[in-house]
Structure 1
């Protein structure tokens, strides 16, 4: 499908949607701040739409600095007191209507494309993608199925495993199973061996993740993860492995290309890549972009990343995370359909090292969305 710009006489209108109801609300705001700063204002008319933690949609401030992390405990959030905004179906697609107290509804005009910078459930999991499909508006990134499968780590493993991709052994635990028969759960986890990682199945940004070094730490780790998700993935720890990542992008002709790999090295008091290590600038995290890898290993990683992208039916972009095991083998950890775009995020860094800078990356994603229609494809 050819690119569909805005009508003659105006720029293409991009609604940047961020915030959301998940525990990754703050990180979504930070990502949006970076995109708002980088997007080409000469090409695009930008409308920032915030989704408050309670689900309200508002017309947010077009102010990148307001959406930045200012330090530990100083995380940004969507201002729910701002004017409510509604996405409505129009004859030509979808439009935005602002409702303000003591004033008639105000139309902002048609939306040509939505850039959903939402992380976690109620955004990255196919929910907003389904809404946008129903509204008939183009959007950046993966569709409904790929978003849903990739958000749920347990189902993602089923799909990637069926495609023959190498994975770490794991088991899934539901809140109901844990409440009904905790001993059976403990036995299943023991079969994986310790240490083991306990993760909310549909979470991100390392929120709710814990490492159970032995059986006596499992209960607390499960209880902590279940706070965030009634379904939890328990996975054998990739002891001694290096954490490496690779970016994937669609090309304008429908093929895929991969970035140079990057490596995350955790130092200081962090045993794994937790929330603070990911997002707080003063934390001790060392990044190698590109990763220092043998050529054949890097080539194999890029091949596996593209294979994972295709296996889940992804579109637009993805970041594929790997473990490089001590024996030199590669194991897929997970696939993220909306990786972070913060100043510290690996996805834009990898593409910059590959030759596509931040602004060009944002432009590529919008162009891909404009070329792709909604509906079955």
Structure 2
């Protein structure tokens, strides 16, 4: 019998999405195939301390404090209390938002030279930043909404009158690099404007202002690399008491939404959405898995809203639901992601890291 692979599940993190990460990691820990994999649960506190925990818990500080071993020949983790070392065969970051989904952790893991589930440094950083992502998607000829972007230093130049003239009313104001609808506001009049700008800048140095699209909220799950595969699209049907898909609607209020998997779409429309989502995934250099969020208007127009490189794995998360509809269980999905990580890591070894030259040093 082959030896179990040790999988370090990273969760928590210094992010406003810390709690969502805990819930996602709890499911991955529960459903991971323990016949093939031995999970190590490593929590990162809201202030950035790393701890080995007994399962996945919100009380990360109660775990054993860890240090990181950044020796690429012998990477791993060290218990600070005893000096004992632990090695992981694969790392599965289940970190949503800042410092977890933006390339920061991905760069650290790459320096450790350990196989990692999910998109690498480049794809994570550009997908996380809504402004950069929209610019690249637009350059690739993919459909995005009209938008404006501002840095914190340009705050005095942001004019309600100018935005209204360019985008119309209502419009959306968003922090550039957050998820789960944190730092997002819908502006219907000038009275909403200053509060929305302050809320977005509260969480980020850059913000995005984009036209409001009246349409259906469609999501599509992407899995794999060569080539990636798209699930059947699903739909989020939001209760009319919500102006848009807010944080509470996503995670707090069980009556806020109805999830239809698959979405009630015609075959032609569904295929068009799947094709656009795969192209978006490739345009932003995503790897292993992502969830693409879109709007579908009454006239059949599609607009890509954003791409989540570490989509949620909570009980209400669309990503695992969409693959379950295709016959892929939660456990099989996790195994597939871990296998993809190892395959991609093995392929990366073909790249030379030394160059023999006549340079003397």
Q: CA deviation at 1:259?
A: 0.3
Say yes or no: does 1:367 pair with 2:342: no
Q: CA deviation at 1:85?
A: 1.1
CA contact (8 A) 1:15 1:114 kept: yes
The corresponding residue for 1:88 is: 69
Q: CA deviation at 1:87?
A: 2.6
The corresponding residue for 1:170 is: 147
Alpha-carbon distance between aligned partners in 2 of 1:227 and 1:92, rounded to the nearest angstrom: 41
**TM-score, with length taken from structure 1:** 0.89
The corresponding residue for 1:228 is: 203
Q: CA deviation at 1:187?
A: 1.4
Say yes or no: does 1:328 pair with 2:300: yes
The corresponding residue for 1:248 is: 222
Alignment of structure 1 residues 153-192 onto 2, 5 Å? 153-178=130-155, 180-183=156-159, 186-192=161-167
The corresponding residue for 2:43 is: 50
Q: 1:210 aligns with which of 162, 169, 185?
A: 185
Stretch of structure 1 that moved more, 280-289 or 141-150: 280-289
The corresponding residue for 1:199 is: 174
Unaligned stretches of 5+ residues in structure 1: 1-7, 67-76
Alpha-carbon distance between aligned partners in 1 of 2:95 and 2:184, rounded to the nearest angstrom: 20
Q: CA deviation at 1:123?
A: 1.0
Deviations 1:237-295 (Å, cap 9, x if unpaired)? 002x00101110115xx211110100001115212111111112523211110000011
CA contact (8 A) 1:149 1:156 kept: yes
Alpha-carbon distance between aligned partners in 1 of 2:71 and 2:338, rounded to the nearest angstrom: 21
**TM-score, with length taken from structure 2:** 0.92
The corresponding residue for 1:294 is: 266
CA contact (8 A) 1:200 1:209 kept: yes
Alpha-carbon distance between aligned partners in 1 of 2:246 and 2:206, rounded to the nearest angstrom: 20
Unaligned stretches of 5+ residues in structure 2: 352-361
CA contact (8 A) 2:136 2:284 kept: yes
CA contact (8 A) 2:216 2:297 kept: yes
Q: CA deviation at 1:93?
A: 4.5
The corresponding residue for 1:358 is: 330
The corresponding residue for 1:72 is: none
The corresponding residue for 1:61 is: 54
Alpha-carbon distance between aligned partners in 2 of 1:321 and 1:188, rounded to the nearest angstrom: 24
Say yes or no: does 1:36 pair with 2:29: yes
The corresponding residue for 1:112 is: 89
Alignment of structure 1 residues 129-168 onto 2, 5 Å? 129-168=106-145
The corresponding residue for 1:12 is: 5
Q: CA deviation at 1:192?
A: 1.0
Alpha-carbon distance between aligned partners in 2 of 1:201 and 1:189, rounded to the nearest angstrom: 20
Counterparts in 2 of 1:89 and 1:223: CA distance versus 1, 3 Å: closer
Stretches (4+) displaced over 3 A? 89-93, 374-377
Q: 1:126 aligns with which of 79, 99, 103?
A: 103
CA contact (8 A) 2:128 2:177 kept: yes
Secondary structure of residue in 2 paired with 1:370: helix
Alpha-carbon distance between aligned partners in 1 of 2:72 and 2:125, rounded to the nearest angstrom: 29
Say yes or no: does 1:306 pair with 2:278: yes
